[in-house]
Structure 1
Amino acid sequence: MARSKYVLPFIAFVAVGMAIGLLFQLSFFWRLEEFSGTNHWENDKESALLRLGFVKPEILSWSPRIILFHNFLSMEECDYLKSISRPHLEISTVVESKTGESIKSKVRTSSGMFLSSKFRQIPIIKAIEKRIAVFSQIPTENGEAIQVLRYETNQYYTWHHDYFSDPFNLKKGGQRVATMLMYLNDVDEGGETIFPQVGSGECSCGGSKVKGLCMKPRKGDAILFWSMVCDPIPCLLRFSCTV
């Protein structure tokens, strides 16, 4: 009987302790779930700047390396880039390999402009450039200025490499090893970026079937691809298609 006097209080003590422990554990898991949600990230300036919780990476190809980032830009960022660039758009040019000069060419019929150092001091532009640096793992100072391009009906950029083959650009800023394309509009028809050397299937370019991988523009999405491998050897060809 004496022994039972001690056993029952001990069992009660253990049961209460287990209940308290369970409550603490549930509270811990609840906090983890809360912190992993978008609301917690939005209150963190760095996470909000990088759009953590919104950007969703999708590997399209490992060799060559091509990554699609869904929701890389917000709708407001897309509209802002269009609004500040619209008054400054000029006919796009290509680099003349023998002289290094920018010249007009039939291979590229879009219009565009580069964001100057003045634009790059704007907080929203600085945020986008930092986001590009983090997701590409290439420092901002190693990147070129953002170029905003507009393709209208029947405009295009024919088959081309994004790496440099002329000595002028190589001397000026070094080799372009990777490119990040950010789409500012949804497009009903056409507008695809095509990688003809990727995959063995077919895809649609402006309603026509072509070989390779086709990327359809979706507002806010971005595509990151590498044009060089470690040798370095050029490895990727692309084409911009419109209707």
Structure 2
Amino acid sequence: MAPAMKIVFGLLTFVTVGMIIGALSQLAFIRKLEQDSYGTESLPYRSLRGLESNAHLQLPRGIPYWNNDKEAQILRLGYVKPQVLSWSPRIILLHNFLSPEECDYLRAIALPRLQISTVVDTKTGKGIKSDVRTSSGMFLTPEERKYPMVHAIEKRISVYSQVPIENGELMQVLRYEKNQYYKPHHDYFADTFNLKRGGQRIATMLMYLSDNVEGGETYFPNIGSGQCSCGGKTVEGLSVKPTKGNAVLFWSMGLDGQSDPLSVHGGCEVLAGEKWSATKWMRQKAHQ
């Protein structure tokens, strides 16, 4: 075997082993959470910049040594309830991942700066407008990433996904109004431009920020053989209803280190109300 081939083979082996270890760690973490079932109590949690309020996060009740545990507060231990929806690709629904106050906080930050959403151009890697995606959105800034409430959410995402914080892109907040949608697509890149800035996207955390939405499901058309609801229609595949505070963690890359076409997903048409969401894309390496 040529030296160059040995190097490539070694790197692929390293990446594959690393992903398998990460997946096993995540599985153990999720199973531990699934076994826990506690009541909750509120403790104060402050934010920044004029949005400071009587916001609260939820902590487990009846576990004395957690009462003053900041890590438990940040991770919402005993309150977040994971539900595995699929193993191929990995899709986990995290009930109560965000508190109502965190949802409102992200919406308040985003509202004044919403712009028409774009999609990634496969030739240039830049954002372009497209009828594939009809929402409006914005990205949090690196400075906002340091805000206590945003930092807590990012740390929580890192722990539940088992992906380092520095591998995450800036969080995006989106609003879908009536009749708006996002056609099925994959989150991994097909261009080389974006791969230079942290490697391939391996996982996505999609967090729902609003309630009372009709339609607007997150739809995975290539999963399972059952039927589900999507924008008022019955279709083949799997869908997740947008419920305030819940989050969907799914993986765009398989354990073999290859992009997974089964991770194709879309945002179904909103029939009534407004669907707000926040998205965190995670890369193979630190995102630049």
TM range (shorter): 0.7 to 0.9
Select the structure that is richer in strand.
2
| Preserved CA contact (<8 Å) 2:220 2:266 | yes
Q: 1:146 to 1:39 in 2, by over 3 A?
A: farther
| Preserved CA contact (<8 Å) 1:68 1:223 | yes
Provide structure 2 residue ranges, at least 5 long, that are not aligned to the other structure. 1-59, 272-288
> C-alpha root-mean-square deviation of aligned residues, in Å?
1.4
Match of 1:149 among 154, 174, 197: 174
Supply the AA of the counterpart residue of 2:258. P
Q: Does 1:83 align with 2:135?
A: no
Q: Does 1:120 align with 2:145?
A: yes
Q: CA deviation at 1:233?
A: 3.1
Q: CA deviation at 1:85?
A: 0.7
| Preserved CA contact (<8 Å) 1:41 1:52 | no
Supply the AA of the counterpart residue of 2:265. R
Supply the AA of the counterpart residue of 1:113. M
| Preserved CA contact (<8 Å) 2:210 2:244 | yes
Instruction: State the distance in 1 between where 2:212 and 2:91 align.
Output: 21
Report the equivalent of 1:239: 266
Match of 1:50 among 75, 80, 83: 75
Supply the AA of the counterpart residue of 1:161. H
Supply the AA of the counterpart residue of 1:240. G
Equivalent pairs, count: 209
Q: Does 1:169 align with 2:194?
A: yes
Q: 1:184 to 1:36 in 2, by over 3 A?
A: closer
Supply the AA of the counterpart residue of 2:188. Y
3-state SS of the aligned residue for 2:132? coil
Moved beyond 4 Å, runs of 4+: none
| Preserved CA contact (<8 Å) 1:55 1:72 | yes
Structure whose alpha-carbon radius of gyration is higher: 1
Instruction: State the distance in 1 between where 2:81 and 2:109 align.
Output: 27
Instruction: State the distance in 2 between where 1:200 and 1:155 align.
Output: 27
Of all paired residues, the percent bearing the same amino acid is 64
Select the structure that is richer in helix.
1
Report the equivalent of 2:165: 140
**TM-score, scaled to structure 2:** 0.70
| Preserved CA contact (<8 Å) 1:41 1:53 | no
Provide structure 1 residue ranges, at least 5 long, that are not aligned to the other structure. 1-34
